[in-house]
Amino acid sequence: DTAVSQTPKYLVTQMGNDKSIKCEQNLGHDTMYWYKQDSKKFLKIMFSYNNKELIINETVPNRFSPKSPDKAHLNLHINSLELGDSAVYFCASSQDFGTHSYNEQFFGPGTRLTVL
Amino acid sequence: QQQVKQSPQSLIVQKGGISIINCAYENTAFDYFPWYQQFPGKGPALLIAIRPDVSEKKEGRFTISFNKSAKQFSLHIMDSQPGDSATYFCAAYHSGGYQKVTFGIGTKLQVIP
């Protein structure tokens, strides 16, 4: 069973299009995240949701809009795609938000987005 | 501003050798330091982690050394194997940070036979 799954795995699209990436976790975790990994492998957090509530929003253009229909899902919608959006996007989840102790983040397999 | 600085960015080690990756941090509020391992085409996965009240933690061939006064920590991979070839990320976290983890830039390790 896949703990954190993402679809699609690959996404190739034209500049200006709108696209979505879906994420689901079956770990029963309370917190989910979106990370962007650029071509140099740098991994940077974009958003974090806890029980469907936005907790972290890291200076991400408002073309990016996360949506959490329930605590097991966190989707990422991107409007008006730009060349610089090309990257690998990782979804992750962790348990027990707010316990003031680190909880392991479990990452999905990633979605490679290529904007032409 | 890169809050966690990691070096080297790439590393080639002979099989059986010791791989060493170094990280330094600036924010003294960080109180947990995990290392993640990422294989090509996969998401990062937690490898080993340490709290700043401990100077060393060992799990199998992997050891974290931590120097709180210098605000530095490092990952040592003993008896490196080709299967260890991956990208390694050091990271830092502080409680009260809403589970936000700051990652280093990553080190691509290649272990050659």
pLDDT in tens, A6-50: 999 999 999 999 999 999 999 999 889 999 999 888 899 998 888
* Structural domain range at position B12: 4-112
What pLDDT was estimated at residue B1?
54
Segment B5-33 mean pLDDT: 95
CB nearest to A41's CB, from B46, B87, B96? B87
Task: Classify residue A71: in a domain, yes or no.
Answer: yes
- With beta carbons under 8 A apart, name residues in chain B contacting A4: 43
Residue A102 has pLDDT above 80, yes or no: no
Task: Classify residue A103: in a domain, yes or no.
Answer: no
- pLDDT band (50, 70, 90) for residue A99: low
CA A91, distance to chain mean position in Å, is 4
Task: Classify residue A60: in a domain, yes or no.
Answer: yes
Q: Percentage of chain A with pLDDT > 90?
A: 65
B98 to chain A: closest CA residue: A98
What pLDDT was estimated at residue B108?
96
Residue A48 is part of a domain; what is its CATH number? 2.60.40.10
In angstroms, the separation between the Cα of residue B41 and the nearest Cα of chain A is 7
Residue B98 has pLDDT above 70, yes or no: no
Task: Classify residue A83: in a domain, yes or no.
Answer: yes
Task: Classify residue A16: in a domain, yes or no.
Answer: yes
- Domains in chain A, number: 1
How far is CA B17 from each of CA A5, B9, B14, B85, B106, rounded to the nearest angstrom?
A: 36, 18, 5, 13, 20
B86 to chain A: closest CA residue: A41
Task: Classify residue A102: in a domain, yes or no.
Answer: no
* Structural domain range at position A74: 4-97+108-115
Q: What is the DSSP string of chain B?
A: --SEEEE-SEEEEETTS-EEEEEEE--TT--BEEEEEE-TTS--EEEEEE-TT-SEEEETTEEEEEETTTTEEEEEESS--GGG-EEEEEEEE-TTSTT-EEE---EEEEEE-
Task: Classify residue A40: in a domain, yes or no.
Answer: yes
- With beta carbons under 8 A apart, name residues in chain A contacting B98: 48, 50, 55-56, 97-98
Identify the H or E element spanning A20. strand A19-25
Q: What contacts A79, CB < 8 A, 6 or more positions away?
A: A18, A63, A64, A65
- With beta carbons under 8 A apart, name residues in chain B contacting A98: 98
- pLDDT band (50, 70, 90) for residue A98: low
Closest CA to A63 of A77, A44, A73, A53: A77
Q: Which two tokens stand for residue A95?
A: 């348990």
B42 to chain A: closest CA residue: A109
What pLDDT was estimated at residue B10?
96
Rounded to an integer, what distance in angstroms lies between the CA atom of residue A68 and that of residue A81?
A: 21
How far is CA A21 from each of CA A69, A75, B70, B110, rounded to the nearest angstrom?
A: 14, 6, 41, 31
CB nearest to B98's CB, from A41, A42, A55? A55
Count of other CB atoms within 10 angstroms of residue B17 = 14
Q: Is the alpha carbon torsion for A57, B46, A102, B21 positive or negative?
A: negative
Rounded to an integer, what distance in angstroms lies between the CA atom of residue A15 and that of residue A85?
A: 9
The answer to whether the CB atoms of B106 and A101 lie below 8 A apart is no
- Domains in chain B, number: 1
Residue B76 is part of a domain; what is its CATH number? 2.60.40.10
The answer to whether the CB atoms of A31 and B105 lie below 8 A apart is no
Rounded to an integer, what distance in angstroms lies between the CA atom of residue B98 and that of residue B113?
A: 42
The answer to whether the CB atoms of B43 and A107 lie below 8 A apart is yes
